[in-house]
């Protein structure tokens, strides 16, 4: 099965620009705005509520909380790490299913923190602030940061049965809106500084948090190796122009890959940017299945 969302002819810069902002990207941004809106609404309602526990906090709406509490829930026969709930486990199970089908699309279409970073990147381009490009060798090393953070958090949560890092989690600091309703630099200085560093970092380096530090992104990337849908590149029709790599928010190697890395967030910008029909396409082709040989064929469009 191939799902191509890219234009069918021409490859002028103007066309590529339009392609980047085509219907798929608008749909993606609408989806991101809806999920960010849900989380922010829950945060406002929770902050305005005068009764303890009457409304869910954003902690209860985070799938990562499900991964954090899973071990405790299993070994204790149904208890939860404080601040996590059954809703976290349900959301984690839903996310797991989604990842097994569509890889990292959660990060490109759902996660409010991803949406915030896309918004920061938009602000950076509007303000003409130069982007910092991390050298490839350093980028490769820094990407392991997510797995280090993931391992540390899961280990510490399982052994201490507390969310040790929740108080400095930049996602929680920013989206709980407690800084707005109850600004308290004396008590939360570390959390504010951590959130500020991540915001400034993501303003200067596109999707810096997602690429280097997010533990949930790390878990999604590991599980994404099993996903049914993957973006594949047909070597036979690829003209090695690397236009597909330019719009990639997480700076992946698309132009030389056969199957795109499980770090992909499924934004489909590369598929749209490719000037050759069906050279990049989402395929029902899990990486663990043997590959079908791509027939050598004449390109149908693009030159
Ligand atoms: S990597 Fe983390 S912060 Fe980024 S979009 Fe994915 S879950 Fe959200
Ligand atoms: S590889 Fe393509 S679909 Fe994946 S994140 Fe990069 S541009 Fe988006």
Each residue of 38-81: pLDDT tens digit? 999 999 999 999 777 778 899 999 999 999 999 999 999 999 99
Tokens 């976290």 sit at which residue? Answer: 88
Mean pLDDT of 15-28: 73
What is the model's pLDDT at position 302? 39
Residue 284's SS3 state is strand
Alpha-helical segments (H) within 21-85 = 23-48, 63-75
Helix, strand, coil distribution of the chain in percent, nearest 5? 55, 5, 40
Tokens of 226: 């099993």
What is the model's pLDDT at position 18? 56
Residue 88's SS3 state is helix
CA of 1 to the centre of ligand 1 (A): 28
Tokens 């036979």 sit at which residue? Answer: 236
Mean pLDDT of 82-100: 97
What is the model's pLDDT at position 299? 42
> Whose atoms come closest to the Cα of 261: which ligand?
2
Ligand 1 touching residue 205 (CB < 6 A): no
Does the structure show a pLDDT above 70 at 231?
Answer: yes
What is the model's pLDDT at position 20? 54
Tokens of 69: 């509490």
Residue whose Cα lies nearest atom 4 of ligand 1: it is 210
What is the model's pLDDT at position 298? 44
Mean pLDDT of 149-163: 97
What is the model's pLDDT at position 301? 41
What is the model's pLDDT at position 10? 52
pLDDT-wise least confident of 111-115, 277-281, 287-291: 287-291
**For 189-227, how does the pLDDT look when each residue is reduced to its tens digit (9 = 90+)?**
999 999 999 999 999 999 999 999 999 999 999 999 999
Does the structure show a pLDDT above 60 at 116?
Answer: yes
Report d(CA 217, CA 212) in Å as an integer: 9
CA of 298 to the centre of ligand 1 (A): 39
Ligand 1 touching residue 170 (CB < 6 A): no
> Whose atoms come closest to the Cα of 202: which ligand?
1
pTM of the full structure: 0.87
Residue whose Cα lies nearest atom 8 of ligand 2: it is 267
pLDDT-wise least confident of 83-87, 126-130, 292-296: 292-296
Among residues of the chain, what percentage have pLDDT more than 90?
A: 83
* Beta-strand relationship, 229-233 and 2-3: unpaired
Does the structure show a pLDDT above 50 at 154?
Answer: yes
Residue whose Cα lies nearest atom 6 of ligand 2: it is 248
Report d(CA 259, CA 268) in Å as an integer: 14
What is the model's pLDDT at position 278? 87
What is the model's pLDDT at position 15? 60
Ligand 2 touching residue 274 (CB < 6 A): no
Ligand 1 touching residue 81 (CB < 6 A): no
Mean pLDDT of 106-110: 98
Can you give the length of the chain in residues? 303
If we measure between CA atoms, which residue out of 279, 268, 236 comes closest to residue 11?
A: 279
Q: What value does the mean pLDDT of the chain take?
A: 90
Tokens 């630099």 sit at which residue? Answer: 185
What is the model's pLDDT at position 11? 53
């Amino acid at each position: 099965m191939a799902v191509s969302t890219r234009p069918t002819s021409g490859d002028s810069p103007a066309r590529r620009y339009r392609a980047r902002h085509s219907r798929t990207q608008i749909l993606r941004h609408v989806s991101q705005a809806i999920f960010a809106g849900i989380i922010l609404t829950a945060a406002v309602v929770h902050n305005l509520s005068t009764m303890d526990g009457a409304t869910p906090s954003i902690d209860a709406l985070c799938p990562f909380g499900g991964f954090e509490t899973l071990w405790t829930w299993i070994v204790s026969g149904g208890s939860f790490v404080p601040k996590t709930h059954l809703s976290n486990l349900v959301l984690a199970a839903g996310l797991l299913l989604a990842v097994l089908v569509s890889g990292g699309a959660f990060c490109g279409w759902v996660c409010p923190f991803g949406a915030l970073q896309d918004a920061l990147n938009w602000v950076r381009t509007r303000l003409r602030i130069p982007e910092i490009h991390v050298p490839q060798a350093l980028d490769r090393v820094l990407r392991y940061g997510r797995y280090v953070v993931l391992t540390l958090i899961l280990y510490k949560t399982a052994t201490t049965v507390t969310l040790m890092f929740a108080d400095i989690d930049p996602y929680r600091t920013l989206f709980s809106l407690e800084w707005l309703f109850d600004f308290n630099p004396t008590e939360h200085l570390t959390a504010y500084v951590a959130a500020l560093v991540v915001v400034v970092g993501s303003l200067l380096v596109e999707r810096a948090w997602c690429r280097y530090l997010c533990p949930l992104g790390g878990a999604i990337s590991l599980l994404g190796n099993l996903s049914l849908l993957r973006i594949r590149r047909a070597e036979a029709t690829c003209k090695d122009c690397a236009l597909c790599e330019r719009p990639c928010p997480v700076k992946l190697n698309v132009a030389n890959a056969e199957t795109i890395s499980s770090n992909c967030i499924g934004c489909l910008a590369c598929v749209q940017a490719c000037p050759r029909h069906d050279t990049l396409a989402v395929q029902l082709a899990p990486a663990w299945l043997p590959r079908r040989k791509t027939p050598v064929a004449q390109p149908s469009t693009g030159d």
